């Protein structure tokens, strides 16, 4: 991973008095407040999106047996789902999707307090999911969609034939995509009679909302410092692999895409 040396940091930044720094900080603060207000406005618009009723009977393989989509909510009426890239036969889930998932467990009690369930879904068989989940030490629910059309219907899995044609439907547009799996987040609502509705989905860089490590990095003078990397998130590893020697650069697993 690229990092700036202390001398580079000093060379690339003007050194000023405290009063000058406060003046410059207040100028930036005005921009930050405008961004916060815009974020609040977008969140309100997100809450007014129409819903889509899920009529297809999806069944998932879970640690407690086969479960339908409505049964993944537990006692809650709202469900946040991570579409996690884990191809059947792979040794591990995508390292960038795993980076997302690393931020989840501490949020679980807070989500539950607001009536929200969380589940990750992958196409890998449940035995592989259980093995990798134990390796990562995660507690969140993680189910397999191996025997269903769920991933393809939600446009996070693509066949070789689809990719060979040049474009797949991802992030609400037709575009080339380098892999057969893609990341995403979806939100579902369950009503009193058990009907389930899709209220929101986000893909591409939208999934960064789960990556609050990036929020810390964005505070630094060098920011994420990914400009010279072979692809965004090239520095990310599974959290139990950071002590290993750097591997040769390879294609991004699910690095941020516009």
Tell me the pLDDT tens digit for each residue of 186-215.
Answer: 999 999 999 999 999 999 999 999 999 999
Whether 27 is covered by a domain: the verdict is yes
Predicted structure pTM score: 0.91
Please check whether residues 43 and 159 belong to one and the same domain.
Answer: no
Q: Grade residue 8 by pLDDT with cuts at 50, 70 and 90.
A: low
Mean pLDDT of all residues in 224-253: 82
| pLDDT for the residue numbered 251 | 46
pLDDT category at 235 given cuts 50, 70, 90 is very high
Mean of pLDDT over the chain: 92
In tens, the pLDDT along 88-146 reads 999 999 999 999 999 999 999 999 999 999 999 999 999 999 999 999 999 999 999 99
Structural domain containing residue 168: 52-210
Q: How many domains does the chain have?
A: 2
Contact 58, 71 (CB under 8 A): no
b/e map of 230-254 (b: 16 or more CB within 10 Å)? ebbbbebbbeeeeeeeeeeeeebbb
What are the residues whose beta carbons fall under 8 Å from the beta carbon of 31, sequence distance 6 or more? none
Same domain, 73 and 119: yes
Last residue of a domain, one of 210, 225, 253: 210
């Amino acid at each position: 991973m690229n990092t700036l040396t202390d001398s580079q940091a000093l060379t690339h930044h003007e050194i000023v008095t405290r009063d000058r720094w406060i003046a410059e900080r207040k100028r930036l603060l005005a921009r930050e407040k405008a961004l916060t207000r815009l974020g609040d406005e977008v969140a309100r618009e997100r809450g007014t999106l129409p819903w889509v009723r899920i009529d297809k009977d999806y069944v998932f393989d879970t640690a407690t047996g086969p479960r339908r989509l409505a049964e993944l909510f537990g006692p809650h009426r709202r469900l946040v789902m991570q579409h996690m890239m884990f191809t059947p036969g792979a040794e591990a889930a995508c390292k960038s999707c795993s980076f997302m998932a690393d931020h989840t467990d501490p949020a679980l009690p807070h989500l539950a307090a607001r009536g929200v369930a969380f589940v990750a879904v992958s196409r890998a068989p449940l035995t592989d999911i259980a093995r990798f989940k134990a390796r990562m030490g995660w507690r969140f629910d993680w189910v397999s969609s191996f025997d269903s059309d769920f991933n393809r219907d939600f446009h996070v899995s693509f066949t070789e034939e689809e990719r060979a044609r040049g474009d797949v439907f991802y992030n609400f547009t037709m575009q080339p995509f380098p892999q057969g799996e893609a990341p995403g987040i979806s939100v579902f609502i369950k009503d009193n009679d058990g009907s389930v509705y899709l209220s929101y989905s986000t893909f591409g860089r939208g999934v960064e909302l789960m990556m609050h490590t990036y929020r810390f990095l964005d505070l630094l003078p060098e920011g994420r410092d990914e400009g010279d990397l072979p692809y965004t998130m090239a520095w990310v590893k599974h959290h139990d692999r950071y002590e290993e020697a750097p591997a040769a650069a390879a294609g991004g697993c699910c690095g941020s895409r516009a």
